């Protein structure tokens, strides 16, 4: 057996559950174990509602919009803990969480594209990078049998392994979102920080508190998008490696059939 085929293994439930069977199981599930009603998934639905509220107020009420958006993002830190504590981890919940993150951030970036038209192309690039990176990574996790897209071995990528540590993930994602929120608030807040704090002169006389937040969180946003590039590249290599392994296995099976015939 060639080296490329020695590492082939089953992919768990993805290979053994037929789509029609899965639909029937989801339709017939009981209230006592309804995945749609798992606590972490209920948290996910509340995040979607809060994100919708934030988007509704985004164009004319920055306080309501910012509060709803921030609460939606903060709840992201609790659904994973709830899933593990209650034994309610699920593939649906993992995908719901990731899709909610991507869509919420993308909607804010769409608003920033209209608020800063000269930077629209940059925001469009960030949306595309975010979606493509996570889509490729999710698929590479599925085809290699990983139970979660957040489980990355250090021998695959030490950067991603470090990034998906729960504490690192929270800090980087929070800093990234705070940077975008700061850009949003910069369109609404024009009072210098010196006036807000009641101090005289200095550098604070020409800068607002959202601008300070953007300066502090900007490097974190840059780091997050570097990770997105790494994630996109590593996921692409994993998918190509799976293709090569499957092609090698197919050739080996064809050779064995040719010998038998």
CA 228 to chain centre: 10
Task: State both tokens at 104.
Answer: 């919420």
Task: State both tokens at 51.
Answer: 């994100």
Separation of alpha carbons 129 and 225, rounded Å: 8
- 205: which residues sit within 8 A by CB, 6+ positions away? 192, 194
Which one is catalytic: 76, 79, 97, 101? Answer: 101
Q: Are 57 and 96 in contact (CB under 8 A)?
A: no
Active site annotation includes 101: yes
First to last CA, the chain: 20
Burial environment of residue 78 by CB neighbours within 10 A (0 to 12, 13 to 18, 19 or more): middle
CA distances from 88 to 6, 42, 44, 79, 91 (A): 34, 11, 13, 10, 10
Residue corresponding to tokens 């799976």: 242
Run of H or E residues at 219: helix 209-260
Separation of alpha carbons 127 and 170, rounded Å: 20
Q: Which residues are catalytic?
A: 101
């Amino acid at each position: 057996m060639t080296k490329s085929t020695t590492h082939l293994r089953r992919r768990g439930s993805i290979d053994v559950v037929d789509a029609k069977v899965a639909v029937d199981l989801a339709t017939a599930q009981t209230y006592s174990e309804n995945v749609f009603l798992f606590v972490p998934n209920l948290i996910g639905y509340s995040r979607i509602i809060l994100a919708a509220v934030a988007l509704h107020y985004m164009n004319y009420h920055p306080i309501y919009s910012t509060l709803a958006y921030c609460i939606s993002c903060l709840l992201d830190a609790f659904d994973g803990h709830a899933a593990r504590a209650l034994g309610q981890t699920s593939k649906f919940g993992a995908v719901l969480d990731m899709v909610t993150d991507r869509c919420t951030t993308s909607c804010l970036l769409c608003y920033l594209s209209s608020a800063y038209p000269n930077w629209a192309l940059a925001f469009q690039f960030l949306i595309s990078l975010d979606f493509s990176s996570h889509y490729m990574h999710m698929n590479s996790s599925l085809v290699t049998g990983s139970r979660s897209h957040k489980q990355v071995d250090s021998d695959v990528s030490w950067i991603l392994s470090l990034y998906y540590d729960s504490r690192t993930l929270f800090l980087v994602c929070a800093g990234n979102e705070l940077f975008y929120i700061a850009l949003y608030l910069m369109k609404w807040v024009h009072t210098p920080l010196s006036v807000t704090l009641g101090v005289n002169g200095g550098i604070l006389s020409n800068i607002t508190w959202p601008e300070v937040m953007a300066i502090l969180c900007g490097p974190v946003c840059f780091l997050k998008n570097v990770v997105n590039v790494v994630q996109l590249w590593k996921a692409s290599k994993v998918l190509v490696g799976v293709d090569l392994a499957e092609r090698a296995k197919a050739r080996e099976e064809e050779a064995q059939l040719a010998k038998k015939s």
